Amino acid sequence: MTVLRSLLLPLAWLYGMVLRTRHALYDNAVLTSVRATVPTIAIGNLALGGTGKTPLLELVLRILEDVSPLATLSRGYGRDGTELHEVSASDNAERSGDEPLQVKKNFPDVHVFVGADRVGAINSIVQLVPELKAVVLDDALQHRKLNAGLNILLTTWHRPYSEDALLPAGRLRDVRVRANAAQIIVLTKCPTTPSTQDQLTWRTKLNLKKEQELFFSGIQYGPPPEKGINVLLFTGIADPAPLVEHVRTWAGKVEHVVFTDHHSFSVGDLERLAGLFGKFAPGPKMLVTTEKDAARLSSVITGSPLEGIPLEVIRMRAVILNEPERFAELIHRHVATHQPHR
């Protein structure tokens, strides 16, 4: 344990007391949770960003591709406003948020909504989308006002919640015991499929209950645009390390420009990237970024110094490494057997 983390532990304990008090009020029905009238699947985490919620949400949508109509709901981090809004593919990130815009472009037939009030938003969505079959929620585990029918908790292979601490001493924004609310736990960004024994070890490490399902997921990238080409990679995501490692497997020289998660690109940022691109390497080269970053870039790139520079967007898909059929079965079963009330 670092000295700084030790110094911050008292603040983390105080934060934990506040969280536990809030959860106790809900657990003892002093505060009320509402179960929606339609099937809800909440994808969340205990830590700050970087666990891969959007790729997992898209995986769930692919699993439910034969179920229609579907809707998704998220806060739309970084957007202007908190009111309910249905995302259009022609929106910009300022209106809808980068991740919801990405989802809408990848799944045009899905009704993608953003709104801060999860319970109120779902009630409105039910009215707006006749015969709605299910709502998939991004980052909703901490919203206790909504009693989601199926909770999927994500945590990463390299930094599981069991080895982390509450803010500000660590990256956890909620107490570890909240993992008990999840029916499914997904360990994300796994380098390989763990052995049967390793899977049992992880169950113990995460302190899972017998009835909780544990899955392991990896990242599947789109095909490389051109092997051996020099790449100026720029990202504004919480955990770019796996992507950087992937790009290095097929590119020549790689230079990585780091922006903060959900960074709003300015004209100055684009001028800086164009300047770096002009001098970072000789010969054939290209800019590379993520779908999430491209969603935020789309509203400012026209007429900028980056316009006309080769830009490749790398797609990332989450894949279940162990028992993918079982994972899909649980998703389908929940939607098919949903009960609005306990």
Q: Are residues 132 and 109 both part of a single domain?
A: yes
Q: Are residues 17 and 90 both part of a single domain?
A: yes
Edge to edge, the sheet with strand 254-258 lists 254-258, 230-235, 285-290, 311-314
Number of neighbours of residue 283 by Cβ within 10 angstroms: 9
Residue 239 structural domain: 230-314
Pairing of strands 285-290, 150-156: unpaired
Q: Are residues 306 and 327 both part of a single domain?
A: no
Tell me, what's the pLDDT at 172? 95
CATH assignment at residue 38: 3.40.50.300
Burial class for 7, CB neighbours closer than 10 Å (0-12, 13-18, 19+): exposed
CA 62 – CA 49 distance, rounded (Å): 22
**Residue 200, domain member (yes or no):** yes
Q: pTM for the whole thing?
A: 0.93
Query: Cα separations (Å) of 324 from 6, 125, 192, 193, 305?
Result: 41, 30, 14, 12, 44
Q: Are residues 205 and 258 both part of a single domain?
A: no
Tell me, what's the pLDDT at 338? 66
Q: Are residues 141 and 22 both part of a single domain?
A: yes
210 φ, ψ (degrees, to nearest 5): -55, -40
Structurally, the chain folds into a number of domains equal to: 2
CA 174 – CA 48 distance, rounded (Å): 9
**Residue 248, domain member (yes or no):** yes
DSSP classification of residue 299: T
- Determine the angle formed by the axes of helices 53-63 and 324-337, rounding to 10 degrees: 70
Q: Are residues 236 and 135 both part of a single domain?
A: no
Tell me, what's the pLDDT at 314? 94
Question: pLDDT tens digits, residue range 244-269?
Answer: 999 999 999 999 999 999 899 999 99
Tell me, what's the pLDDT at 340? 56
Q: Are residues 167 and 301 both part of a single domain?
A: no
Tell me, what's the pLDDT at 1? 56
**Residue 225, domain member (yes or no):** no
Q: Are residues 175 and 285 both part of a single domain?
A: no
153 CB-near residues (< 8 Å, 6+ apart): 44, 45, 46, 141, 179, 181, 182, 184, 185, 186
| Amino acid sitting at position 339 | Q
Q: Are residues 174 and 88 both part of a single domain?
A: yes
CB 219 within 8 A of CB 189: yes
**Residue 342, domain member (yes or no):** no
Q: Are residues 177 and 286 both part of a single domain?
A: no
**What does pLDDT average to over the chain?**
93
Q: Are residues 70 and 93 both part of a single domain?
A: yes
**Residue 40, domain member (yes or no):** yes
Largest CA distance in the chain: 66
**Residue 112, domain member (yes or no):** yes
Q: Are residues 260 and 204 both part of a single domain?
A: no
Question: pLDDT tens digits, residue range 304-331?
Answer: 999 889 999 999 999 999 999 999 999 9
**Residue 67, domain member (yes or no):** yes
Which ranges of the chain does DSSP label H, i.e. alpha helix? 3-27, 53-63, 93-96, 98-106, 118-128, 196-205, 241-250, 267-279, 291-297, 324-337
Tell me, what's the pLDDT at 342? 44
Tell me, what's the pLDDT at 81? 82
What are the residue ranges in the chain where pLDDT is below 50? 341-342
